[in-house]
């Protein structure tokens, strides 16, 4: 991404003031303690001030009232809030790297598919029948958008995502590579002879607005109706969301967790990594599950924090894990008691 900017250009973008060489060029960012020529860094945390005097970065953003106590080799740009300014730059930078527009002649787009202005459809992408893409939708190479799928404005779908037929995704969403939305739910009726008969899965996946879905995460279509991912949900990588599940607004789930069929999570829940949640449960709003928790029962009261397998109160769980390691001491105390009692009884 050899996109170079001079210190003066960066300062203009941020409304900052250059102190040093306004013509010096930067083309990427680095932590101040790991700087290199051509890098832009920032200094916000006083703990890192020492690095300002030794950094190899070409440009450093500093708070406007910062007073150095030694010579600074780097060019400084003074801004009201160095951290905020840096975050703003990162966002601009990321936006820039995602500014692809245009329909590749190497994509396949069905005749009856529709798309809004400023869309990108990359090479070897497949857009099925009656698909509707909003404005500014970015479909990267090798994505599959099945028949009758709908994707809202400004949503980005990274390379290789597979959206089965009838999947609905809202606005301002991000779906990362390898995610699969709409595969059949895992539903089979056991037969007398030990085989299984497939239960047709004819619902779909419905994703709201402002949702992010991580790489290789899978969300199954419902048996009927929709598996529902509400607005603002954030899903990390390699997560399993089974059929008929519903995830409430702004619920965030970390990598490798799974939610079994027909379970409903409330709003603003936080699920750490490698958590498993059984099927057909109702989990109240603002519930938090610690890492590797096994959730086998519903949670009625909002705002609870649980851990362990089966899950229970987080603090008690942590105490219990310590207690379980004290069992040898308990055994000793019991043996001691038995011995003393033996003596007493034998008197």
The side-by-side arrangement of strands in the sheet containing 234-235 is 102-103, 120-121, 138-139, 156-157, 174-175, 212-213, 234-235, 252-253, 270-271, 288-289, 305-307, 312-313
Output 68 or 318, the one with its CB closest to a copy of itself: 318
- Smallest distance from the beta carbon of 92 to a copy of itself, in angstroms? 9
Q: Binding marks (x or -) toward a copy of itself, 218..247, rule CB under 8 A?
A: x-x---xx------x-x-xxx-x-x-----
> What is the spatial distance between Cα 124 and Cα 144, in angstroms, rounded to a whole number?
9
Instruction: Please tell me whether residue 9 binds a copy of itself under the rule CB under 8 A.
Output: no
Among 17, 23, 31, 73, contact with a copy of itself (rule: CB under 8 A):
31
Determine if 93 is a binding residue for a copy of itself (CB under 8 A): yes
The interface with a copy of itself within residues 244-263 (CB under 8 A) comprises 249-250, 252, 254-256, 258, 260
Residue 302 near a copy of itself by CB under 8 A: no
Q: Is 147 in the site for a copy of itself (CB under 8 A)?
A: yes
Active-site pick, 243, 264, 280, 282: 243
* 328 binds a copy of itself, rule: CB under 8 A: yes
Distance CA 46, CA 204 (A): 51
Taking the complex as a whole, how short is the minimal distance between the CB of residue 136 and a copy of itself, in angstroms?
16
| In the chain, alpha helices (H) | 7-14, 49-52, 82-96, 314-324, 327-346
- Out of 9, 27, 51, 177, name the contact with a copy of itself by CB under 8 A: 177
Write out the binding residues for a copy of itself, residues 95-114 only, by CB under 8 A: 97, 104, 106, 108
Q: Which stretch binds a copy of itself (CB under 8 A): 43-51, 70-78, 112-120, 327-335?
A: 327-335
Could you count the other beta carbons within 10 Å of the beta carbon of residue 329?
10
159: contact with a copy of itself by CB under 8 A: yes
Figure out which of the listed residues 267, 283, 284, 289 binds a copy of itself, where binding follows CB under 8 A: 267
Using CB under 8 A, pick the residue from 45, 50, 54, 316 that binds a copy of itself.
316
C-alpha distances in angstroms, 194 versus 9, 80, 188?
71, 70, 12
Q: Is 212 exposed, middle or buried (0-12, 13-18, 19+ CB in 10 A)?
A: middle
Report d(CA 122, CA 178) in Å as an integer: 16
DSSP H helix total and E strand total for the chain: 5, 40
Q: Does 134 bind a copy of itself (CB under 8 A)?
A: no
Is residue 199 involved in binding a copy of itself (CB under 8 A)? yes
**101/296 with CB nearer a copy of itself:** 296
Nearer to a copy of itself, 18 or 156 (CB): 156
Phi-psi region of 225 (alpha: psi -120 to 50; beta: other; left: phi over 0): left
Buried b (16+ CB within 10 A) or exposed e, 17-34: ebbbebebbbeebbebee
Query: Six-digit token pair at 74?
Result: 């780097």
- Identified binder of a copy of itself from the candidate list 186, 281, 282, 305, rule CB under 8 A: 186
Cβ-based nearer residue to a copy of itself, 152 or 258: 258
Provide the minimum distance between the beta carbon of 277 and a copy of itself in the complex, in angstroms, as a whole number: 9
Q: Give the count of alpha carbons within 13 A of 202, CB side only.
A: 2
Contact between 310 and a copy of itself per CB under 8 A: yes
Catalytic-residue membership of 243: yes
């Amino acid at each position: 991404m050899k996109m170079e900017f001079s210190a003066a250009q960066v300062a203009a973008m941020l409304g900052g003031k250059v102190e040093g060489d306004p013509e010096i060029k930067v083309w990427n960012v680095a932590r101040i303690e790991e700087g290199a020529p051509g890098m832009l860094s920032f200094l916000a945390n006083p703990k890192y001030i020492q690095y300002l005097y030794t950094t190899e970065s070409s440009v450093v953003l500093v708070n406007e009232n910062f007073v150095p106590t030694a010579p600074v080799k780097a060019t400084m740009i003074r801004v009201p809030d160095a951290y905020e300014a840096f975050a703003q730059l990162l966002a601009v930078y990321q936006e820039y790297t995602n500014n692809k527009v245009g329909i590749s002649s190497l994509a396949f787009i069905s005749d009856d598919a529709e798309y809004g202005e400023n869309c990108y459809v990359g090479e070897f992408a497949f857009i099925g029948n009656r698909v509707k893409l909003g404005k500014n939708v970015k479909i990267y190479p090798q994505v599959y958008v099945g028949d009758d799928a709908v994707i809202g404005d400004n949503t980005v779908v990274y390379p290789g995502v597979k959206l089965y037929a009838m999947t609905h995704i809202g606005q301002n969403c991000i779906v990362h590579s390898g995610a699969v939305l709409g595969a059949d739910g895992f539903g089979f009726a056991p037969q007398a002879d030990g085989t299984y008969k497939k239960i047709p899965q004819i619902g779909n996946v419905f994703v709201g607005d402002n949702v992010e879905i991580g790489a290789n995460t899978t969300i199954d279509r419902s048996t009927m109706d929709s598996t529902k991912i509400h607005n603002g949900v954030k899903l990390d990588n390699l997560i399993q969301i089974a059929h008929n599940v519903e995830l409430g607004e702004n619920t965030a789930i970390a990598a490798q967790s799974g939610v079994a069929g027909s379970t409903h999570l409330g709003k603003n829940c936080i699920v750490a990594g490698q958590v498993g949640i059984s099927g057909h449960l109702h989990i109240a709003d603002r519930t938090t599950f610690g890492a590797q928790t096994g959730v086998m029962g519903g949670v009625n009261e909002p705002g609870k924090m649980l851990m362990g397998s089966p899950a229970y109160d987080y603090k008690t769980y942590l105490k219990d894990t310590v207690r379980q390691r004290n069992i040898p001491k308990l055994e000793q105390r019991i043996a001691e008691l038995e011995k003393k009692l033996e003596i007493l009884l034998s008197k």
